[in-house]
Amino acid sequence: MFKEFKINIVLIGFMGSGKTSIAQSLSKLLNRSWIEMDDLVYQKTNTRNMHEVFKKGGELLLRETEIEISKEYAVKNDLIISTGGGVVLNKIVLDYFKQKGGRIIFLQAQFTTIVKRLKGDESRPLFTSLKDFKKLYSFRLPLYVNYADEIINVDFKSVDEIALGVVGQVQNF
């Protein structure tokens, strides 16, 4: 049904933009495996969640492990990769994926959408005060735009609709 393409599809975007759900949907649509970078971070650091990662080695441990993972997984060419929202902080992470032909898709959500989705969520150490969160969002927005090969707006759309949009963009490339 879909044209064959041998590249990694790398989803980037702020926390709560839907990277995980869309990666799962893409994985079903394209019959490909997907990976969740945060889960690989837990495996590699011998932790169970992000709070434990931060407790063990601070944000630095997370960022260093993300670099390690991207280097390892960029060489594969048939994965859907759901990144952590902060991968844009280290240029090398997305450079590794790009160098090997990975297509970087930015799932862009409005700040209000993100806050609505993350309301009551306590799993993310960087989701603290709304003011700081907004600052982080504004700081990162141009980074996502800059690294993206494609930008998909995700506000008011269903997961499957977005996944189909991603496939369309990747196939038309």
Supply the minimum distance, in Å, between the C-beta of residue 140 and ligand S3P: 8
C-alpha angle 71/16/53, rounded to 5°? 50
CA dihedral 105, 27, 67, 170 (to 10 degrees): -30
Supply the minimum distance, in Å, between the C-beta of residue 136 and ligand S3P: 7
Question: Applying CB under 6 A, does 85 fall inside the site for ligand S3P?
Answer: yes
Question: What is the layout of strands, in order, in the sheet containing 103-108?
Answer: 33-36, 79-82, 9-12, 103-108, 150-153
Supply the minimum distance, in Å, between the C-beta of residue 22 and ligand S3P: 11
Q: How many Cα atoms within 13 Å fall on the side-chain side of residue 145?
A: 8
Question: Applying CB under 6 A, does 124 fall inside the site for ligand S3P?
Answer: yes
Binding-site member from 18, 69, 79, 84 for ligand S3P (CB under 6 A): 84
Question: Among residue numbers 14 through 43, which ones bind ligand S3P (CB under 6 A)?
Answer: 15, 19, 38
CA dihedral 144, 147, 150, 156 (to 10 degrees): -10
Stretch that binds ligand S3P, among 93-101, 122-130, 151-159, 160-168 (CB under 6 A): 122-130
Supply the minimum distance, in Å, between the C-beta of residue 115 and ligand S3P: 13
Question: Applying CB under 6 A, does 50 fall inside the site for ligand S3P?
Answer: yes
Q: Give helix then strand counts, H and E, for the chain.
A: 7, 5
The token pair that represents 81 in the structure block: 């990769």
The smaller minimum CB distance to ligand S3P, of residues 103 and 124, is found at: 124
SS3 state of residue 125: coil
Binding site for ligand S3P (CB under 6 A): 15, 19, 38, 50, 84-86, 124-126
